[in-house]
């Protein structure tokens, strides 16, 4: 089957075809000329790399980049990236103290062929060098946040306990300790062991890197509570005591204390072996007192009233 193009459409496609092709070529040539021949200017960042000195250290953080204005064809300028231009400053060329380094065009590297460097801003950079020293400093865990309700930090430790740093004397001589990176304690309970890093001020370097471990121990907050009319008995039927009831002060987690039942408490006195009249005075670490209760071993007896008990042989 042969397709016949209608005459109106055929005339539209073929009429003045040469003129249209010529216009297209002229437009393409003009675009190419603009991209390759038309000169333009743009500003671009020049990064600065500092080559470390063998004996001295930077006393303050210097400028890390400057601006450069370059000129060239529009097509080339469009492909220029900020990271392409750089310069290097060798700190071994300077003595201790403050210096001004003046830039010149020959120091700027990475400029593509066909591009021209017009100016730099700023044209110089300030550099201060100081004697490098080494110092051992205490290392401290940097704990941030708050513990869960009813809990507290019982103990903390860090290993190693110190860290050796090097850096400019001007800075390092005024530092007394170094903290770790922040450690959140908001969701921690019981015992944990965490690995972290030292949080260093800029310009300081660690002489020997070691893994830093922080050990934390969390537990319920301890409180105290008084219990009255608690029965007191003396072990053994051969003994008698003037007191039958006492007032006790107990210490432990609040929830544990609240769960105690006073009706299930008894204070037991353990007299010495000799069956003679004796007076026993309460002390928290005394072996002569023993408390029986329905709670856990996290509860401690810290006070008894009265504090002294006169024991004597029973006459019954």
Number of domains in the chain: 4
Q: Give 217-232 pLDDT, tens digit per residue.
A: 998 888 999 999 999 9
Q: Are residues 188 and 125 located together in one domain of the fold?
A: no
Range of the domain at 13: 7-36
Q: Are residues 173 and 250 located together in one domain of the fold?
A: no
Q: Are residues 140 and 79 located together in one domain of the fold?
A: no
Average pLDDT, the chain: 87
Q: Are residues 19 and 52 located together in one domain of the fold?
A: no
When pLDDT is averaged across residues 298-305 and rounded to a whole number, the result is 93
Model pTM? 0.62
pLDDT at 64 over 90: yes
Sheet of strand 151-159, all strands in order from the earlier edge strand to the far edge: 151-159, 212-220, 191-196
Measured between alpha carbons, how far is 178 from 198 in angstroms, rounded to an integer? 7
20 domain residue, yes or no: yes
Q: Give 272-286 pLDDT, tens digit per residue.
A: 777 788 888 999 888
Alpha-carbon Rg for the chain, nearest whole angstrom, is 43
Q: Give 78-129 pLDDT, tens digit per residue.
A: 777 766 899 999 999 999 999 999 999 999 999 988 899 999 999 999 999 9
Q: What CATH number did the domain enclosing 306 receive?
A: 2.170.120.30
Confidence of residue 17 (pLDDT cuts 50, 70, 90): low
283 domain residue, yes or no: yes
2 domain residue, yes or no: no
pLDDT at 7 over 80: no
When pLDDT is averaged across residues 32-51 and rounded to a whole number, the result is 79
């Amino acid at each position: 089957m042969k397709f016949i193009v209608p005459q109106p459409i055929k005339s539209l496609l073929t009429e003045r075809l040469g003129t249209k092709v010529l216009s297209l070529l002229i437009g393409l040539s003009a675009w190419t000329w603009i991209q390759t021949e038309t000169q333009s200017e743009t500003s671009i960042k020049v990064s600065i790399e500092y080559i470390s000195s063998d004996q001295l250290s930077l006393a303050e953080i210097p400028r890390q980049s400057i601006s450069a204005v370059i000129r060239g064809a529009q097509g080339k300028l469009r492909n220029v990236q900020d990271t392409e231009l750089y310069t290097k400053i060798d700190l071994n060329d300077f003595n201790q103290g403050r210096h001004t380094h003046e830039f010149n065009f020959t120091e700027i590297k990475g400029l593509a062929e066909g591009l021209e460097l017009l100016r730099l801003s700023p044209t110089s950079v300030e550099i201060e060098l100081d004697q490098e020293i080494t110092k051992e400093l205490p290392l401290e865990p940097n704990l941030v946040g708050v513990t869960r309700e009813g809990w507290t930090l019982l103990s903390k430790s860090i290993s190693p306990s110190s860290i050796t740093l090097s850096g400019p004397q001007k800075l390092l001589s005024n530092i007394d300790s170094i903290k770790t990176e922040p450690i959140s304690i908001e969701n921690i309970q019981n015992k944990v062991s965490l690995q972290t890093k030292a949080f260093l001020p800029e310009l300081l370097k660690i002489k020997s890197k070691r893994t830093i471990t922080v050990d934390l121990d969390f537990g319920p907050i301890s409180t105290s509570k008084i219990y009255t009319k608690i029965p007191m008995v003396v072990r053994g039927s051969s003994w008698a005591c003037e007191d039958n009831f006492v007032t006790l002060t107990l210490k432990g987690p609040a929830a544990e204390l609240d769960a105690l039942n006073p009706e299930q408490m008894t204070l037991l006195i353990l007299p010495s072996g000799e069956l003679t009249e004796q007076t026993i005075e309460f002390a928290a670490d005394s072996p002569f007192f023993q408390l029986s209760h329905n709670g856990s071993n996290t509860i401690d007896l810290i006070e008894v009233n009265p504090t002294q008990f006169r024991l004597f042989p029973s006459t019954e």
